[in-house]
Structure 1
């Protein structure tokens, strides 16, 4: 008999949206069970046999759940193909949190991270224009873990996939601005969503601030205008689905 699901909530996106800060805040609450580290990368693991997945190693990352909500944060889940379907198969009652950031600023922050890591060598403007063609040579087709600067910002597409799998009441949408400017309110919403009582707000913090170095690109008005146009239809759809509007 398969082991019953243990994990009851996920911070499933978006990368560079504030998921590390949210995870870090939640570690201050003793009534929430979290693993020792962020990003377990279970449901985007293409080496797993998804016809008969074995979750014992996953569950072992939560050594003492003691009846508390168990959750983890892997922000690629909302973007990576089949991840959300695998999550639904694991636990149809899963609660999912998305922390969304202006997709233009998210793409810029993502590029800066990959450039600082040495993964990316091309300038930002090339990456969000010609460089998008690289994803058509990737596996799985059209997706890439590092070079998906533009693609991860199509939030409405991700929300529509979520709504096709989970009831609306199992989804919570926050913005990075909300988490940064009013963490007490954002964390209060998270605790209510998880069925937990009110609790004192942990001390405000900045987590994963971008590395300071000489980058070969700037976020120019022309690139911003190009990306706003790319995201225009998705932004309208996102507002209709969630009430959140960027740009």
Structure 2
């Protein structure tokens, strides 16, 4: 039965959804219809994270190998088969579980300046309506308590930015040539070049040019929370109507319209320079260790 030969393993809020969407366009790549199965992070477990919105995370996580394999029943003649679960980077057991099932897998990582990633993570919870207090400092102060109370990973804004202990098990277990690490800034500045390098890494046609005009899973604070909730959240009471409209109108018409409406509703406030400086200082040692591990210049992250 089919199983992936490549995985996008993180980091969360660093562009994994874009990598998933752009890869999905390639005719020689099959991506799981469920973007984040998280199977290798939670195999055989009962998922019971707490905190606002965690019920969706709990329900959507695949924990059995049978259900996981079923995600890839639609494969035809694609060369590269993959999925994208950022939980694989931050859950300690994931590296060993992946190695057990697919030791020859290719692993893709994309990393973002950790203070900026933390702030984006915070804005994500605000956008989802889960974080009612829109003060970033308050969210950071609450983080340790939330972790102790078993809140989900989306609440670990600061913690998930310490990449070195998350990456090290993969570099210890897998050959370096099985791991490709990208930087978020390269995805923003040179998305086509990055994707073509990724295609080459996967052994598919690297001349293929994906449509990179859309940014996926962008964060921000809704100017009108109620309207945003109705139009764009999974719990919206308008979901039956949206499903009906989805059947009537093709994606090429829906996507630009939805993108335009969403961009009007979302505003993205900038992070306080003082907070960014403080967080970057806390991340400094980790950044230097990551720089040595992945053999990429991360000096700009320290500015």
- TM-score, scaled to structure 2: 0.72
Q: Residue deviations 1:70-91, cap 9 Å, x none?
A: 1000112101231222111111
Of Structure 1 and Structure 2, which has the larger fraction of its residues in helix?
2
- CA distance in structure 2 between the partners assigned to 1:54 and 1:209 by the alignment: 31
* Greater relative contact order (Cα < 8 A, sep 6+): 1
Question: Which residue of structure 2 lines up, in the alignment, with residue 40 of structure 1?
Answer: 37
Is 1:108 the counterpart of 2:119? The answer is: yes
Higher alpha-carbon Rg: 2
Question: Which residue of structure 2 lines up, in the alignment, with residue 161 of structure 1?
Answer: 169
Gaps in structure 1 of 5+ consecutive residues: none
Correspondences of 1:81-100 after superposition (within 5 Å): 81-100=92-111
Correspondences of 1:35-74 after superposition (within 5 Å): 35-45=32-42, 47-48=44-45, 54-62=64-72, 63-66=74-77, 68-74=79-85
> Which of 206, 215, 221 in structure 1 is aligned with 2:273?
221
Is 1:230 the counterpart of 2:273? The answer is: no
Question: Which residue of structure 2 lines up, in the alignment, with residue 15 of structure 1?
Answer: 12
User: 1:211 deviation in Å?
Assistant: 3.5
The number of residues matched between the two structures is: 237
Question: Relative to structure 1, is the Cα distance of residues 244 and 135 closer, same or farther in structure 2, using a 3 angstrom cutoff?
Answer: farther
> Which of 210, 213, 218 in structure 1 is aligned with 2:219?
210
Question: Which residue of structure 1 lines up, in the alignment, with residue 54 of structure 2?
Answer: none
Question: Relative to structure 1, is the Cα distance of residues 46 and 148 closer, same or farther in structure 2, using a 3 angstrom cutoff?
Answer: farther
User: 1:189 deviation in Å?
Assistant: 1.4
- TM-score, scaled to structure 1: 0.87
- CA distance in structure 2 between the partners assigned to 1:244 and 1:144 by the alignment: 32
User: 1:133 deviation in Å?
Assistant: 2.1
User: 1:66 deviation in Å?
Assistant: 2.7
Is this contact kept in 2: 1:183–1:201, CA < 8 A?
no
